[in-house]
Structure 1
Amino acid sequence: MSVAFVLAINMSVAGLIAAAFAVVAVTNRTARGAWWLAAGCGLGIVNVGLEFLLTRQVDPTPTGISIFLVFLLAQSFALIGVASHYRVAPPWIAIAAIWVLTILAVPVIFSLPYGSSPRLTLYQMPYFAMQSLFAIVIVRSGRRQALDLLLIALQIVAALIYLAKPLIAAVVGTASSPQGYMASTYAAISQSASVVALMAIALVLLLVMMRDTTAEIVARSETDPLSSVLNRRGFEQHAGIALLRYGETAVLIAADLDDFKTINDSFGHAAGDGVIAHFAAMLVDAAPADAIVGRIGGEEFAVLLPDAMLSDGRIYAEAVRTAFAAARLPVLGVDRGFTASFGVAQRGPGDSLFDLLRRADAALYRAKAAGRNQVRVALEEMPVSATVGVA
């Protein structure tokens, strides 16, 4: 297989991958980093084109320097794209340091004899350093799913390939001049290894983006846009899974804003929406990390505390009730306090989520009947008078 053929494959692959990332960026505006990755792959096409141009140059140095720096720029763009996708700040200082050292090294590299070990080693070091940053960025993100671990491994392999290239050249030999690079065995091995590694990285990156995009779509479908907590569908889904995991050691708190219709009628729906959002934020802030919080009705919320006892649920509800009653929301133009009522139920033997919600609601209605702004515990089933009005 000729090096020209391998380079043509490299150019085609870079073009296809650049197009794939561009499509992701266009069709999913929340896909972070896709445009940077598309730009990096696009520069890969330019880099390969310069390799073909090199063979026709009388003085190969300007084109050789361009090839050297364009590929490093392609790596830089791709690194920024990966960091953006993983929600990690790009390592700007490290990137800048690599570029400064690379620019300073250019006169030294291109003054050394072509094909010599010192020249090849210095030539590959910036690529090794930049590629290593990919793995560091993903590790810093804290993501440890299978595709993330595979991507880290591939980045390490790609970095090691750059380190290995001077050794490969020492074994198989290289061309005597830059114009003869494409006719050398070293070029065939170097380009083949690079395209395989970079193609594998790009494909895994596309899979990572598809996975994360799908997860974001699912999360949006399960999230209430006003309160930013789970909607009823999402709450039932996640709470059901939690009940399967924790068994009977779970507590459910039902909460309802008192006199909510009066809030809307007196201050407007925008103020009512603000009260709902504020109350939801207080529920989340006071809850333990494994709690599941959902808005299951207009002004009704539910909080599942996995691996908790009835006393834990009551303490949590009292804390939120007290804090909410003491809060003032002048930013909404409503300079007054609001209250909420709570019902707490411990999961019993054989209780489904529906049973648990029903018993928590029964306790909530008793809190409403007793004058609102209270917490009631579902110690046993108690009938609620049909004459009791619930706000």
Structure 2
Amino acid sequence: MGENFAFFLPIMMASFGVLFGVVWSWRVRAAGFWSGAFFCIAGGFAVPAAFAALPSSIWGFVADMLFASGFLLFSQALLERWRPSWMLPVRIAIWGLSLLLCAIAIALDHLPLELVSSDFGCFLLVGLPLVAGKDRLDNWADRILFGAVTLTAADNLIRGSTVPLTLSGGDFQDSAYAFFMQAIACVFGLFLALAALAATMLDLLARYQRDALHDPLSGLLNRRGFDETLARLMRKGTADGSLIVCDIDHFKAVNDAHGHALGDRVIVSLARILAQFAPPSAVTARFGGEEFVLFLPDMNAAQAAGIANDIRESLAREVADRLGLPQPLTASFGLATLQRGDMSIHEAIARADAALYEAKARGRNRVCVRRALSTPGAPAADSPSRACHG
């Protein structure tokens, strides 16, 4: 092994270990496996320096163990993206068998067997995730990472298959095997690290974007997420539908009497009911506090009112008993349809809010509908645009 390789490779691999460690501290689980893997590989490449300082046959097995452990962690990091913990017992068995064969080879002083056992073990460990990930390449980052892993797997397979040709004279340090191993590791290792880092950072950005658009308690969209989703639908031509505004009745009294922890459980329970009854095309959001909004594309007022009533009845029937509340838990609903004259979705929300206030005024636990703007001066009870059910 050249002195430049001996110095550069451990530093390069350890640097990526530190970098992925920083990303892991941002709560990116896969980054922890990448970090551990690169530290193991860095240790494996640093073994010759340790051997030069303190010659011992044990260093060979230490290097084999570090490389095998690094590739086991590589496989877990990849599968965190594509199929978490897939075939974990099989991969651990491959890791153990590879090390067992390496130990036997060292005991027999059979260097070719040791190298073949290590290379083929690493090939299987990093090759199995390719099987799991081949149908899950949804974006360019995954495809580039898949290509980098394929090159790494091919390197180990080809190197292990050509040991008799590259291990001249039985001496590892000055062999073509050692040179090609380190030279290719510089290129493919750098490619793999950069591809993994790019994919991980894109995952992190996607998570931050999701957090920015979703309510952390209910898991539904927040107001910003709702607005952006509706704007995207409108750009695609979705101009018809109904909008439901939902507000839990006497929610402050629940918080005051039973504490905010139980109030949070009420919010989560209602969010689950909304998800249960809303169709797949619905856009569901928590606007804050106890107020929820559903947009139902291409659905008329009668259909939307049926869904609102299903939600209302399920909430009144199930949640109080499930949470141990002494009194029934109900919600009021306001419903409006989108009109061609609306300048934005917020005009429909304003009509639904007005219908919600009417539901509250009429005794709560009901659905009130406002299909269009009322005629100025028309009494509320006589307006054909309004109806209440409950």
Quickly name the TM-score band, shorter chain normalised.
0.7 to 0.9
1:228 aligns with 2:219: yes
Contact 2:64 2:99 in 1 (8 A): no
Residues 94-148 of structure 1, C-alpha deviations (whole Å, 9 max, x = no match): 1222033224423564548545xx76544421011001133345458x5622212
Q: Which residue of 1 aligns with 2:3?
A: 4
1:312, distance to aligned residue in structure 2 (A): 3.8
Contact 1:242 1:306 in 2 (8 A): no
Q: Which residue of 2 aligns with 1:177?
A: 170
Residues 128-185 of structure 1, C-alpha deviations (whole Å, 9 max, x = no match): 1001133345458x562221222122212211111111455566x333123xx23233
Separation in 1, partners of 2:325, 2:63: 64
Partner of residue 134 from structure 1, selected from 129, 132, 145: 129
Separation in 1, partners of 2:329, 2:80: 41
Contact 2:249 2:331 in 1 (8 A): yes
Q: Which residue of 1 aligns with 2:13?
A: 14
1:274, distance to aligned residue in structure 2 (A): 3.3
Q: Which residue of 2 aligns with 1:239?
A: 230
Partner of residue 64 from structure 1, selected from 60, 64, 76: 60
Partner of residue 100 from structure 1, selected from 89, 92, 96: 96
1:195, distance to aligned residue in structure 2 (A): 2.7
The root-mean-square deviation of aligned C-alpha atoms, in Å, is 3.2
Within a 5 Å distance, the mapping from 1:281-360 to structure 2 comes to 281-330=272-321, 332-349=323-340, 351=342, 352-360=344-352
Partner of residue 38 from structure 2, selected from 17, 38, 41: 41
Separation in 2, partners of 1:189, 1:104: 25
Larger relative contact order (Cα-Cα within 8 Å, sequence gap ≥ 6): 1
Within a 5 Å distance, the mapping from 1:190-209 to structure 2 comes to 190-209=181-200
Partner of residue 77 from structure 1, selected from 73, 77, 98: 73
Separation in 2, partners of 1:331, 1:367: 25
Partner of residue 371 from structure 1, selected from 356, 363, 366: 363
Residues 319-342 of structure 1, C-alpha deviations (whole Å, 9 max, x = no match): 111101112435655222122122
Separation in 2, partners of 1:195, 1:363: 67
Change in Cα spacing, 1:201 to 1:350, as seen in structure 2 (3 Å) is: farther
Q: Which residue of 2 aligns with 1:161?
A: 155
Q: How many residues align?
A: 377
Unaligned runs of 5+ in 1: none
Between the aligned residues of both structures, percent identity stands at 27
Change in Cα spacing, 1:198 to 1:295, as seen in structure 2 (3 Å) is: same
**Structure 1 counterpart of 2:36, one-letter code:** A
Contact 2:68 2:99 in 1 (8 A): no
Q: Which residue of 1 aligns with 2:138?
A: 144
What TM-score do you get using the length of structure 2 for normalisation? Answer: 0.83
Residues 224-278 of structure 1, C-alpha deviations (whole Å, 9 max, x = no match): 3343322222222222223323522433211122233444455555444433332
